[in-house]
Amino acid sequence: MPLFVAGLSHRNAPVELRERLAVEEDKLRELLRDVTATGTVEEALILSTCNRVEVYGVAPAPGEARALAFRHLCQHRGVSPALVEPLLYTHLEEDAIRHAFRVASSLDSMMIGEPQILGQVKEAFALAQACATIGPSLHPLFTQAFAVAKRVRNETEIARHAVSVAFAAVELAKKIFAGLARKAVLLVGAGKMGELAARHLVEQGAFPVYVVNRTWARAQEMARALSGTALPWDELETALAGVDIVITSTGAAEPVITRAAVQRVTNGRRARPLFFIDIAVPRDVEAGVDSLGGVYRYDIDDLKQVVDANIRERHREAHRAEALVEREAGKFVARLRDVEVIPTIVSLRERLEEIRLGELRKALARLADAPPETRQALEALSSAIVNKILHAPITKLRESSRAGAHRTWLELVHELFGLTRK
């Protein structure tokens, strides 16, 4: 039965429409039940993320199944099908398999290599399993998709290079320090990007964390969120003396950290490196501080250059990942086709074995006095004849299966040998 995937994504649908179609878990359960209850769809999985809404299914009439699924979805979300239908893409069988592998491997993501999509696909699979809408076609498809995604991550570097400003800051910090464990962090200001960079540093082992902000309540709130310590604004220069990494994102009109202040605190640091991550625009750290010994400063443009370079690296690695996905999709399709011809091969062997045994019994009945050696010879002879007869049709079935032309040969073999379809 044909496998299909239909949907829309960031590639062809505006974010406003994707937001309107996004479905929460409880509604997904209801939607899966509604779609499969009609009998139009044999198996179904719905993937709903901020960047895509897709229905994976098995149905005798994929076009009808697609229309049904999105009609129900639009009804659930109060969206006109006329807005959605022109944007839908549909992939069938081999193309659907390839698409599933690419999505799980983050090759079809807005940001190639991002890790979230694999978890989202696994959650959609688990939900569909809980709703009993996963069957003998979708189960092996997604099980293999997860295995392919794991190989892409392990065998390519598609996810290694930082492609956000916050991650880029961590990557640069790793280059300056031998390790980030127990490196003290000072967060100056309470911007979201600064907080995110601080969180990434903490995840890499940086500790302790101090927060300085002009608004004391906001400093305390941010410090609690980071399991850190809030410090008064007027202790900023003192705090610089004892930390290793400083993240600034204040939104001030003028630099809040001057070269003179940094020079005063570095005199007592004994050449211990001091790394500034200046995410603010206008910049918080005065130009020229990195001319001081052991002081490093990267602003938003420096970080953006790192991000751009890493995006190019990811796209280079994506070519290797695409080749891996293509190979694995080909192998999976070949296995599926082999599975399709196996019942016919089994039926053919059983049919010829039935004929062989019947004729052997007749021959042995006429040779009642034949010695055991003669009986064994006839058994071996008849088995050899059957195997030789089977060789050509079985080989042709397997070859046609791998070439994608097995259905005609299946029908021919059934017709020639009078096989009953199981």
- Give, in order, the Cα–Cα distances in Å from 22 to each of 11, 74, 110, 259: 16, 10, 17, 49
What is the pLDDT, as a whole number, of residue 25?
84
Predicted TM-score (pTM) of the model is: 0.67
Out of 50, 130, 403, 416, the active site residue is 50
Residue stretches of the chain with pLDDT short of 70: 1, 162, 338-340, 401-408, 421-422
Q: Is 50 one of the annotated active-site residues of the chain? A: yes
What is the pLDDT, as a whole number, of residue 51?
87
What's the CA gap between 95 and 97, in Å, rounded? 5
What is the pLDDT, as a whole number, of residue 404?
62
What's the CA gap between 411 and 372, in Å, rounded? 41
End-to-end alpha-carbon separation of the chain, Å? Answer: 15
What is the pLDDT, as a whole number, of residue 410?
72
What's the CA gap between 183 and 275, in Å, rounded? 11
For 331-363, the pLDDT digits (tens) are 898 877 766 677 777 888 888 888 889 988 998
What is the pLDDT, as a whole number, of residue 54?
97
Class of domain 165-303: alpha beta
What's the CA gap between 66 and 60, in Å, rounded? 11
Contact partners, residue 36, CB within 8 Å, separation at least 6: 42, 43, 44, 131, 133
Beta strand ranges found along 85-190 (DSSP E): 89-92, 185-188
Query: With contact defined as beta carbons under 8 Å apart, do 56 and 90 qualify?
Result: no
Query: 165-303: same fold as 3-155?
Result: no
AA identity, residue 154: N
Tell me the two tokens of residue 11. 């590639």
Query: With contact defined as beta carbons under 8 Å apart, do 296 and 277 qualify?
Result: no
What is the b/e burial string over 141-161, where b = at least 16 CB atoms within 10 angstroms of the residue's CB? Answer: bbebbbebbebbbeebebbeb
What is the pLDDT, as a whole number, of residue 326?
95
What is the pLDDT, as a whole number, of residue 402?
66
What's the CA gap between 399 and 337, in Å, rounded? 10
For 200-223, the pLDDT digits (tens) are 999 999 999 999 999 999 999 999
What is the b/e burial string over 169-203, where b = at least 16 CB atoms within 10 angstroms of the residue's CB? Answer: bbbbbeebeeebeebbbbbbbbbebbbbbbbbbbe
What is the b/e burial string over 114-126, where b = at least 16 CB atoms within 10 angstroms of the residue's CB? Answer: beebbebbeebbe
What is the pLDDT, as a whole number, of residue 368?
83
Q: Which sequence spans correspond to the domains of the chain?
A: 3-155, 165-303, 332-417
| Domain 3-155: assigned CATH number | 3.30.460.30
